[in-house]
Amino acid sequence: MNQLRWQDAVNLVLGAWIAGSPWILGFSVEMPAAMWNALVVGLLIVLLAAADLDAPASWEEWALGALGLWLVVAPWIFGYAAISAMTASSVVTGALVMALAAWTLYVADGFPHRRGTAH
């Protein structure tokens, strides 16, 4: 795995965690909006990370960063900020996804050597 691919592998795990967190943390029934948010965002992270493993592109990292930011603010938007386990899961995972996206963009220098650009 090269220097850019391990971040995608970690994002696969983080996306799977967020997608499964409503059932793992036990809020799937009591908070359906938060459950759907976690499921959809988690699956989007998994899909983007998998696509990035196959054919890396900078737009995928920007999208992952945006999803990470969404996870950071989601507890206040969906009203579960007072529930520490749910909030910690969302905020920490979102911060990690953002950090990995930023790191990948920094290391790759915006991916100028990828997809559609001559070497």
pTM of the predicted protein model:
0.85
Q: What is the pLDDT of residues 21-58, one digit of tens each?
A: 999 999 889 899 999 999 999 999 999 999 887 777 78
List all residues 6 or more positions away from 62 whose beta carbon is below 8 Å from its beta carbon: 101, 105
Q: With 50 as the cut, is the pLDDT of residue 116 above it?
A: no
Ramachandran assignment for 67, one of left (phi > 0), alpha (psi -120 to 50 degrees), beta (any other)? alpha
For 59-100, the pLDDT digits (tens) are: 889 999 999 999 999 999 999 999 999 999 999 999 999 999
Q: Please tell me the predicted confidence (pLDDT) of residue 40.
A: 98
**98 CB contacts (<8 Å, ≥6 apart)?**
64, 65, 68, 69, 72
